Amino acid sequence: MVFYSILILAIAGLAWVRFAPSDPDVWHVDPKVTSDQDLSDGVRRRVDAGGDSQQMLKSLHAIILETPRTEVLAGSPEEGRVTYVTRSQWMGFPDYATVQDAGTHLEVWSRLRFGKADLGTNKAKVDGWLTQLAARLQ
């Protein structure tokens, strides 16, 4: 009986992680990136726009939407800020990435929702996006 109770609780917990609603008021916020930071729960990047930050945001938006299991939570490139949700393949854990046009640069903040450490997942994802962006802009 105890085994089945634990099993039901585990399944309910996994279902919550997979289907928990994402509130834009909580996640679609100013990244406030002042410098590059590698954090235990995510990453912050400040990217020099070198001129046309709006076009750079549009290019990065296209790259991000090519990422599997990623969708827009709120905003748009035209608004100057977009927040994305990317879910892990097996468990569906959500990570939130906010990209903002700050005029002379882009601010990128990607972070996890559940847990305390993402084991470098957000860093790898964001650095991959920025590598692709640099290649497209050359």
Q: What are the pLDDT digits (tens) for 9-56? A: 877 777 776 778 889 999 999 999 999 999 999 999 999 988 789 999
Burial (CB count within 10 angstroms: exposed 0-12, middle 13-18, buried 19+), residue 58: middle
What is the distance between the alpha carbons of residues 50 and 27, in angstroms, rounded to a whole number? 28
pLDDT surpassing 90 at residue 5: no
Contact 96, 52 (CB under 8 A): no
Question: What is d(CA 50, CA 55) in angstroms, rounded to the nearest whole number?
Answer: 11
Q: What percent of the chain has pLDDT over 70?
A: 99
Residue 98 in tokens: 């906010």
More confident residue, 113 or 73: 73
Q: Using DSSP, state whether 133 is helix, strand or coil.
A: helix
Domains and CATH numbers, the chain: 22-137 (3.30.310.80)
R_g of the chain computed on alpha carbons: 17
Strands (E), the chain: 37-39, 42-48, 70-76, 81-87, 94-101, 105-112
The single-letter DSSP state of residue 119 is T
Residue 12: the pLDDT is 77
